[in-house]
Amino acid sequence: MSTQHAERKVLITGASSGIGLATARLLTSMGHEVWGTAREVQRLPAMERFHPIRIDLNDTTSIRSGFQQAEREAGEISVLINNAGSVINGPLEALAAECLQSQMETLFLGPLELMRLALPGMRRRNTGIIINVTSLAGRFPIPFNAGYSSAKAALSVATECLCLELTGTDIRVVDLQPGDIATDILRRTRMLRGPVCEAYEPNRGQSRMAEEEKFSKAPEPGVAAHVILDLLRNGSPAPVVTVGSFFEARLAPFAGRLLPRRAIQGAMRYLYGLGRQTSWPALLERKVVKWRT
């Protein structure tokens, strides 16, 4: 069996649902040993080759003890998949410091700590794979999800920094950017309430309805799980990989590289039901005039 198809010792966060659970099921079915984490360990599945670990990404002590337990049981962690996610929905004006801190800890600072813990062993063995599940929301920020989008963008940038820093080694680092995937993240979203939030209606309500509609048509988590499996099998994976519908995973990133930011914002307003009184022909006509000046 070639090295790239050999059994892996995988640590994956957020393994109780969504992409994490689908990935854990797929990898264990292919013979890999998976240490899956969740804040509430009782929510983790019971299955062959799966080892439940409690990690609270908002608690550095929990992160360190959970990683040490996984490494002790596994002997080594050859694959780290930072996947866990959470969303706090509300206007930026209503996001108190503790809300932003919570989002940054779960989505950025916690994953950074796990990378710091995994890298010494990987460097010693000169092999390993780190897959950071960021989001296309880091490129195309979602209205009323500023904390989530900002943290995912930060993790994406840190992933590329690490990829450059590991030049000359056999450690691979991948920024996996899903679009909408049919997980339960919308159901688990913490919705902020109060007068400030009400001041942003109807925009917020329209945005939320658009999110729900988009998620109702989104691909299942297994699509992302199979992409992750392919990344483990690929001896030289691309540094940035997108996954989702054809529009989100292919067309949107391509358009994002070509179009000016004002046009991107116009498209986002349209997609999330904001300012639909502006028609696409009128928008494009204004852009043509702008481009010609």
Separation between Cα atoms, residue 42 and residue 243, nearest integer Å: 29
> Token match 């307003």: residue?
269
**141 within 8 A of 149, measured Cβ to Cβ:** yes
The answer for residues whose C-beta is within 8 angstroms of residue 72's C-beta and 6 or more apart is: none
Point out the catalytic residue in the list 148, 200, 270, 272: 148
Contacts of 238-243 spanning 24+ positions with Cβ under 8 A: 238/174, 239/159, 239/160, 239/163, 239/173, 239/174, 239/175, 240/160, 240/174, 240/175, 240/177, 241/174, 241/175, 241/176, 241/177, 242/136, 242/177, 242/178, 242/179, 243/176, 243/177, 243/178, 243/179, 243/181
The answer for residues whose C-beta is within 8 angstroms of residue 78's C-beta and 6 or more apart is: 8, 9, 10, 122, 125, 127, 128, 129
**148 belongs to the catalytic site:** yes
| C-alpha neighbours within 13 Å on the C-beta side of residue 177 | 28
Question: Which residues are annotated as catalytic?
Answer: 148
